[in-house]
Amino acid sequence: MEVVVELVDVYKHYLMGGQTVRALDGVSLQFRRGDYYAVMGPSGSGKSTLLNLLGCLDRPTQGQYLLGGTDVSTLDDDQLSGVRSSRLGFVFQSFNLIPQLTVVENIEIPLIYQGVSPRQARARAHEMAAMVGLSERLEHRPTQLSGGQQQRVAIARALTNDPLVILADEPTGNLDSVTQHEIMDMFDVMSRDGKTIILVTHEDDVAHRARHVLHLADGKIVRIETSEDRRRRMGLAGGTA
């Protein structure tokens, strides 16, 4: 499968009170189409920084980011906005729906910013709402929905522009365990449909839904393993404890 995401020796440094914080410290990685990665690591290890970079919300201090074959590390602000609206899908921990907009209006946002005509955008949003099972709720406000329903709207919104990569930052962090499974099932479906998914989490059962688990520590990749390997390793570790 073709490589859709490639980081080549990426550094992200922050200056904090005269000190350099190496949030990412020489990260190189490749994700192929259809890959499903869980990113794990202790707090402050650089997970959010990595996701922001991959999401074109930020630019690396040094290094190259190739998204779908094009180097996006040198694009300007407007071009990055264009990349976000056409090639990326975001799912956030706190859903991040816009409260004054209805379900359909929330779903069509990326299309509107892409310049798709309002009529087409509306049609596509209806399609996506149906896909996540919210056809009955098109005109509802986010506050009228449960947490799980809100996250489903967010997933529909992330998929509406048919993105190259879906980036999720703890998508189940605010959900109870039943809803968590429901949402993770949706990620499974997306993965089966061939979407490339990168998901930050620190819950093992969420991580185990992914095909690979990437471990970060102090801004460095310490290990990439398949989730079966990890499960086995965890099981072993559990056994010896």
Partner 1 sequence: MIHLRFARAFQMGIKSLRLHPLRSMLTALSVVCGVGAVIAMLAIGEGASFRAQEQFRSLGSNTIVIESIKRAVTKESQETNPIDRYGLTRLDLVQIHETIPDVELSVPVRDFRKDVWHKSRRYTDGKIVGTEYFFADVQNYKLARGRWICATDGVRGRLNQVVVLGSDVCAKLFPLEDPLGQTVSIGTKTFTVVGVMANQGGVVERKKLNLADLSKNVYMPLSTLSAYFGNIEVVRGSGTETRELVELKQIIARVADLEQVLPRAGAITHLLEKNHPEGDFRVVVPLKEIRQAQESARNFTLLLFSIGAVSLLVGGIGIMNIMLATVTERTREIGIRRALGARKIHIVMQFLIETLVLTTLGGLIGVLFGVCSPWWVPVIFRGQIAIVRVMTIVPSFLISAGVGILFGLYPAWRAANMDPIEALRHEWRAIEPGVVAWASCPWFSVTGETPVLRIGE
Ligand X SMILES: Nc1ncnc2c1ncn2[C@@H]1O[C@H](COP(=O)(O)OP(=O)(O)O)[C@@H](O)[C@H]1O
| Positions in the binding site for Mg ion (CB under 5 A) | 48
Contact residues for 139 (Cβ-Cβ < 8 A; gap 6+): 102, 103, 104
The answer to whether residue 171 forms part of the interface with partner 1 (CB under 8 A) is no
Distance between alpha carbon 51 and the CA centroid of its chain, in Å?
Answer: 7
Among residues 31, 36, 37, 90, the one that binds partner 1 under rule CB under 8 A: 90
Query: Which does residue 16 bind out of ligand X, Mg ion, partner 1, none, counting CB within 5 to 8 angstroms by kind?
Result: ligand X
DSSP state of 169: E
Among residues 11, 25, 48, 61, the one that binds ligand X under rule CB under 6 A: 48
Strands 196-200 and 19-32: unpaired
Instruction: Provide the token pair at 53.
Output: 């970079």
Among residues 12, 47, 59, 137, the one that binds partner 1 under rule CB under 8 A: 47
On whether the CB atoms of residues 134 and 81 are closer than 8 A, the answer is no
Q: Is 26 helix (H, G, I), strand (E, B) or coil?
A: strand
On whether the CB atoms of residues 63 and 8 are closer than 8 A, the answer is yes
| Spatial CA neighbour of 230 closest among 45, 40, 24 | 40
The rounded distance, in Å, linking the Cα atoms of 74 and 106 is 30
The answer to whether residue 44 forms part of the interface with ligand X (CB under 6 A) is yes
The rounded distance, in Å, linking the Cα atoms of 105 and 124 is 11
Residue 74 backbone zone (phi > 0: left; psi -120 to 50: alpha; other: beta): alpha
> Where does this chain touch partner 1 (CB under 8 A) — which range of 6-14, 45-53, 128-136, 189-197?
45-53
Q: How far is the CB of 120 from ligand X (least distance, A)?
A: 37
How many residues line the site for partner 1 (CB under 8 A)? 36
Q: How far is the CB of 89 from partner 1 (least distance, A)?
A: 9
> Where does this chain touch ligand X (CB under 6 A) — which range of 36-44, 79-87, 156-164, 173-181?
36-44
Q: Which residues ranging from 108 to 167 are in contact with partner 1 (CB under 8 A)?
A: 109-110, 112-115, 118, 157, 161
Nearer to ligand X, 93 or 179 (CB): 93
Residues forming the site for partner 1 (CB under 8 A): 43, 47-48, 52, 55, 57-58, 77-78, 81-82, 84-86, 90, 92-94, 96-101, 109-110, 112-115, 118, 157, 161, 169-170, 200
Summarize as ranges the residues that interact with ligand X (CB under 6 A): 14, 16, 21, 23, 41, 43-49
